[in-house]
Structure 1
Amino acid sequence: MSQSPSSAPSEPQPVEFAPAAAPVREAVTKLGGQPVWLAEPQWPLSRATGAPMRFLGQFSLAGGGLGYLFMTGDDGGVSVDGTWDPEGGENALLVQPGGRLPGFVTVESRAEGPTAGADHLPRPAGEDGTDPDGHAWQFFGGPGIEPRWLQGEETPGDGWSLVVQLDSGRLPFPVDFGDSGVGYAFVAPDAGEGRFLWQCT
């Protein structure tokens, strides 16, 4: 069945992240640095090692909330499998304020911890942010914006909406999403919790 123009998915606008002039202390979308908590700090821990996950970034949500993205890194030379799994306990997208802590995530009360790099702020990428076919692989979600999957469709559930899609090749610091991988962050229909996963080629 064909979609009418009003219901067709919108074309996402490519985004990139540029170094911030100073540490970002506002509740805005950013990559790197330290989280700007809207409620009591909840730093997620790796299920495999118990060590604090690495903070990748925070993203503005509808209604004024933030989604905080974490993923287990290879700090200390320990490589952990399963960071691609949305409920494997090796990544977390936590929602504040008023979010629910998913059962597969363990946290500790700490405001700061390991980070993927220095603060970076978003800006439009223009044509430089698209592939040779003109498709964006790194962009924010929103009404009518659908993920661009590398592999099969893996939306966490009915009504879950895309927060951001991250292209490991266009990030300002190394992040292990596998071979030329892309990460996908989603929020539940009631915006009470989030999920993150990645796919690679």
Structure 2
Amino acid sequence: MSERLSSPVSEPLPVEFALAAAPVREAVTKLGGQPVWLEEPQWPLSRRTGEPLQFLGQFTLDGGALGYLFMADGDAEGTFEPEGGENALLIQPGGRTPDFVSVRAQAEGPTVGADHLPRPAGAGGTDPDGHAWQFLGGPGIEPRWLQGEETPGEGWRLLVQLDSGRLPFTVDFGDSGVGYAFTAPDAKEGRFLWQCL
């Protein structure tokens, strides 16, 4: 039996993101605001336009690292592709910048909105069957796919699953879309993709 099949799968806990009382300057999970860089800033650029991508949020990883999530704003063309150059999940410290991502040394740039911090979701955090669509990843946490399975590769781990209908601001994941962020088996590289109905 493979390790993946024999590993216990945990039921994810639904989360929502609440407006922070002030700008968040700590290395914690958050949506919006500006990145809290752990190394030199590396703002990713759109492959199509060359402009800075919009910062969606940062998410804690084991060992104190952060995954920084960016996506092109407005036109959703190519943002659903994990290696299309219109989104990026960068890891610091010690991460690798994927070869399909170009970066610029700038600390601040376009953002999806004000800082929001995670908290357990209320009654509206699950669908009528009791399943969560927005949650943080971790050991034993598997994505809940809208369409077919699209894990980037063997051993890649879910970092976060984001439901566009439950976010505190508008993001274009298509029609009722869900975004999926993953880290490589060595946690040095990331991928992001989204699916919609």
Q: Deviations over 1:84-118 (max 9, x none)?
A: 00000000000000000000000000000000000
8 Å contact from structure 2 (residues 76, 173) kept in 1: no
Q: 1:80 Cα shift?
A: 5.2
8 Å contact from structure 1 (residues 127, 134) kept in 2: no
Partner of 2:43: 43
Tell me, what secondary structure is at the counterpart of 1:128? Answer: helix
Alignment equivalent of 1:84, drawn from 71, 80, 88: 80
8 Å contact from structure 1 (residues 168, 182) kept in 2: yes
Give every structure 1 segment of 4 or more consecutive aligned residues whose post-TM-superposition deviation is greater than 6 Å: none
Would you say 1:141 and 2:167 are equivalent positions?
no
Tell me, what secondary structure is at the counterpart of 2:165? Answer: helix
Partner of 1:184: 180
Whole-Å Cα distance in 2 between the matches of residues 143 and 191 of structure 1? Answer: 13
Q: Deviations over 1:30-75 (max 9, x none)?
A: 000000000000000000000000000000001110000000012x
Q: 1:6 Cα shift?
A: 7.3
Q: 1:8 Cα shift?
A: 3.3
Whole-Å Cα distance in 2 between the matches of residues 57 and 116 of structure 1? Answer: 8
Tell me, what secondary structure is at the counterpart of 1:63? Answer: helix
> Which residue identity is paired with 1:65?
A
Partner of 1:198: 194
Would you say 1:94 and 2:74 are equivalent positions?
no
Q: 1:9 Cα shift?
A: 1.1
8 Å contact from structure 1 (residues 48, 80) kept in 2: no
5+ residue gaps, structure 2, are none
Whole-Å Cα distance in 1 between the matches of residues 163 and 15 of structure 2? Answer: 10
Q: Share of identical aligned residues, percent?
A: 79
Q: 1:7 Cα shift?
A: 3.1
**Pairing of 1:136-175 with structure 2 (within 5 A):** 136-175=132-171
5+ residue gaps, structure 1, are none
Partner of 1:32: 32
Alignment equivalent of 1:132, drawn from 105, 122, 128: 128
Whole-Å Cα distance in 1 between the matches of residues 186 and 6 of structure 2? Answer: 24
8 Å contact from structure 1 (residues 13, 126) kept in 2: no
Whole-Å Cα distance in 2 between the matches of residues 106 and 33 of structure 1? Answer: 22
Whole-Å Cα distance in 2 between the matches of residues 150 and 45 of structure 1? Answer: 28
Whole-Å Cα distance in 2 between the matches of residues 45 and 165 of structure 1? Answer: 23
Q: 1:191 Cα shift?
A: 0.6
* Distance verdict in 2 for CA 1:133–1:103, change over 3 Å: same
Tell me, what secondary structure is at the counterpart of 1:169? Answer: helix
Whole-Å Cα distance in 1 between the matches of residues 6 and 20 of structure 2? Answer: 37
TM-score using structure 2 length: 0.96
8 Å contact from structure 2 (residues 29, 58) kept in 1: yes
